[in-house]
């Protein structure tokens, strides 16, 4: 994970993370490299056969992802919809490829010695007590508490601990039984729970439309984070049935569904060719060579061919987010995916 002082316009204001951190208003924004080549036409019949051969389970799967006994949104949700037949967006493919240089995909999860990277997922029981959460930065675009957050000595948070957190400090909590998802950004424990903002989602219903259009969430695109994570249990099972979340350093004052919010980091060109809209979906090209990938890395690659990646937040270009898990292997899970160049991906239009 790469730390950098992003300045992010989460809604009406530009928030400079280094200033906020210095003033004690909250943790600095973190995250984590970019795209080349001519646009590729829609997958041919032989290309689709290649996809199916790579992922027979996905091609026949009638169900979506699950966690804690709950669906992670219905199979028809935008996160869980196959995009193998969606047409190429030749304009954004050409723009991103022109800006790509030598950039490659970067899995923003894994382990380095005793240090673990990624966003942890907390699953709590239906009777987990709900507690107040103070939203310090965007209360007007937050879903009111209380939230079923465990105590500070139990809850897992991105970037450290609830009392000593560095980075985006995301908190993700799935409540089993109720199948409700609670997410927070810039969270900390300080004589009670505080977050920059918070969002609640009903995992049994389609995500798009659950919250007001124009609202931010724990992600700058207004999306839920959980459905876009690379999860260890899915890779171990051999199939991922959803799109993946990725970040890009600059985005413009536009958004595409399923994004409901746009963000413009300070110093970025509002209409620049290197500033894609939030919600832009990419897809690993059908002609990308997966022969050198390990079996575990291929599970992720096939998901990127089948469901794509959704631009969800500002951060380093082509950083794909996964859950924090001690089982990740650099040799099997991380290093092989870093061989995929940004030019192996194409932007796609919404719908076939």
**Which of 25-34, 36-45, 278-287 holds the top average pLDDT?**
278-287
- 35 in Cβ contact with 342 (< 8 Å): yes
Kindly state the DSSP code that residue 182 receives in the 8-state scheme: E
State residue 273's pLDDT score.
Answer: 80
Instruction: List 157's β-bridge partners, or say none.
Output: 160
Res 210: pLDDT: 98
Residue of higher predicted confidence among 61 and 123: 123
The DSSP 8-state label assigned to residue 277 in this structure reads P
Tokens of 177: 């039984």
Q: Are 263 and 247 in contact (CB under 8 A)?
A: no
Tell me what pLDDT residue 352 has: 64
**Cα separation of 299 and 179, whole Å?**
26
Q: Contact 281/347 with Cβ under 8 angstroms?
A: yes
More confident residue, 147 or 35: 147
Long-range contact set of residues 268-273: C-beta below 8 Å, sequence gap at least 24: 273/95, 273/98, 273/99
CB 265 within 8 A of CB 314: yes
At 62, is the pLDDT very low, low, confident or very high (cuts 50, 70, 90)? low
d(CA 199, CA 244): 19
Mean pLDDT value across residues 218-222: 97
Least confident interval from 94-103, 257-266, 343-352: 343-352
Q: What are phi and psi of 23, to 5 degrees?
A: -85, -5
How far is Cα 50 from Cα 254, in angstroms, rounded to an integer? 34
- pLDDT at 8 exceeding the cut of 50: no
Per-residue pLDDT, averaged over 101-107, amounts to: 96
Backbone φ, ψ for residue 46 (5° rounding)? -65, -35
Residue 2 has pLDDT above 60, yes or no: no
Q: In Å, what is the CA distance from 28 to each residue of 68, 96, 197, 333?
A: 31, 27, 14, 28
**Residue 342's pLDDT is what?**
97
pLDDT at 14: 35
Tokens of 84: 């193998």
The answer to whether 322 and 230 have CB atoms below 8 angstroms apart is yes
pLDDT at 48 over 70: no
Give 256-299 pLDDT, tens digit per residue: 999 999 999 998 987 788 899 999 999 999 999 999 999 999 99
Q: Span 216-243, mean pLDDT?
A: 98
**pLDDT over 50 at 220, yes or no:** yes
Q: State mean pLDDT over 49-78.
A: 72
- If we measure between CA atoms, which residue out of 254, 256, 262 comes closest to residue 215? 262
Q: For residue 270, what pLDDT is reported? A: 78
User: Does the pLDDT of residue 5 top 90, yes or no?
Assistant: no
Residues 34-48: what's their mean pLDDT?
29
The yes-or-no verdict on residue 26 having pLDDT over 60 is: no
CA distance 102 to 56: 32
Mean pLDDT value across residues 63-67: 92
Average pLDDT, the chain: 85
CB atoms within 10 A of CB 226: 28
In the chain, where the domains are located: 7-348
Whether the predicted pLDDT of 22 surpasses 90: no
What pTM was estimated for this model as a whole?
Answer: 0.83
Mean pLDDT in residue range 211-233: 97
Per DSSP, the three-state class of 79 is: helix
| Cα–Cα dist 18/5, whole Å | 6
% pLDDT > 90, the chain: 78
């Amino acid at each position: 994970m790469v730390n950098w002082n992003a300045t992010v316009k989460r809604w009406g204001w530009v928030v400079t993370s280094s200033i906020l951190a210095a003033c004690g208003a909250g943790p600095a924004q973190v995250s984590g490299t970019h795209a080349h080549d001519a646009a590729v036409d829609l997958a041919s019949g032989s290309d689709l056969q290649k996809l199916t051969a790579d992922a027979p389970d996905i091609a026949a799967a009638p169900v979506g992802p699950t966690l804690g006994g709950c669906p992670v949104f219905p199979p028809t949700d935008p996160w869980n919809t196959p995009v193998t037949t969606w047409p190429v967006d030749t304009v954004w493919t050409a723009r991103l490829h022109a800006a790509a240089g030598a950039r490659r995909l970067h899995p923003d999860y894994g382990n380095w010695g005793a240090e673990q990277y990624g966003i942890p997922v907390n699953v709590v029981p239906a009777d987990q007590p709900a507690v107040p959460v103070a939203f310090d930065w965007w209360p007007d675009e937050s879903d009111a508490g209380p939230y079923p957050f465990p105590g500070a000595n139990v809850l897992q948070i991105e970037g450290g601990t609830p009392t000593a957190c560095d980075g985006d400090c995301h908190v993700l909590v799935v409540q089993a039984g109720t199948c409700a998802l609670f997410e927070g950004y810039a969270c900390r424990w300080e004589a009670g729970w505080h977050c920059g903002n918070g969002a609640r989602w009903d995992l049994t219903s389609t995500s798009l439309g659950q919250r007001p259009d124009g609202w931010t969430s724990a992600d700058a695109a207004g999306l839920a984070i959980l459905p876009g994570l690379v999860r260890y249990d899915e890779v171990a099972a051999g199939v991922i049935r959803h799109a993946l979340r990725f970040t890009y350093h600059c985005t413009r004052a536009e958004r595409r569904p399923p994004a409901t919010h746009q963000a413009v980091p300070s110093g970025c060109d509002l209409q620049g060719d290197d500033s894609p809209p939030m919600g832009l979906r990419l897809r690993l090209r059908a002609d990308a060579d997966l022969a050198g990938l390990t079996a575990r890395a291929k599970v992720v690659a096939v998901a990127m061919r089948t469901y794509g990646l959704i631009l969800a937040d500002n951060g380093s270009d082509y950083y794909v987010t996964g859950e924090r898990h001690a089982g990740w292997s650099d040799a099997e899970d991380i290093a092989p995916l870093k061989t995929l160049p940004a030019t192996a991906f194409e932007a796609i239009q919404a719908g076939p």
